[in-house]
Structure 1
Amino acid sequence: MLAQLGRIVGTLVLAYVVFQVGLLALTMTFGRSPELVIPPLILAGVTVWWFLLRRGSERRQH
């Protein structure tokens, strides 16, 4: 139970970090603009989806 909670929290923290790094990179490259928020959101969503798929496949193997 505790390990599963740790994985969930870790996944959320990683998604947040990926979002912030993507947003920072786009802001430094292109300047602030509302439409630049969308790509980091997509990147964070794909990251969370990938980790959830990986966690699901690990669970099936055990």
Structure 2
Amino acid sequence: MKRFFRRKVEAWLILLAAKILIDRNAQRAPVVSRRDNNDMWYMAEKLDAIAQRISKNYP
């Protein structure tokens, strides 16, 4: 049971990081280049996939 909660918390923290990256990307800041914006979006997608695998115990 302890591992279950740990997996869920870890997945939630990764999803939080992905959300921060996507929200940062939503409003284009003048100090962030287009390439960096695209990289942040790509990283957020990858983090989302990782969080799903962790949450489901790597099926």
Equivalent residue for 2:2? 6
TM-score of the superposed pair, with normalisation by structure 1: 0.50
2:9 partner amino acid = V
Q: Percent identity?
A: 10
Say which structure is richer in helix: 1
Question: Are residues 1:31 and 2:38 paired?
Answer: no
Question: Are residues 1:45 and 2:52 paired?
Answer: yes
**Structure 1 residue ranges without an equivalent (≥5):** 54-62
Aligned-pair Cα RMSD in Å: 2.5
Give the ranges of 4+ consecutive aligned residues of structure 1 lying more than 6 Å apart after TM superposition.
none
Q: Across the two proteins, how many residue pairs are aligned to each other?
A: 42
Q: Which has the higher contact order (CA 8 A, sep 6+)?
A: 2
Aligned counterparts of 1:22 and 1:47: Cα–Cα separation in 2: 14
TM-score of the superposed pair, with normalisation by structure 2: 0.52
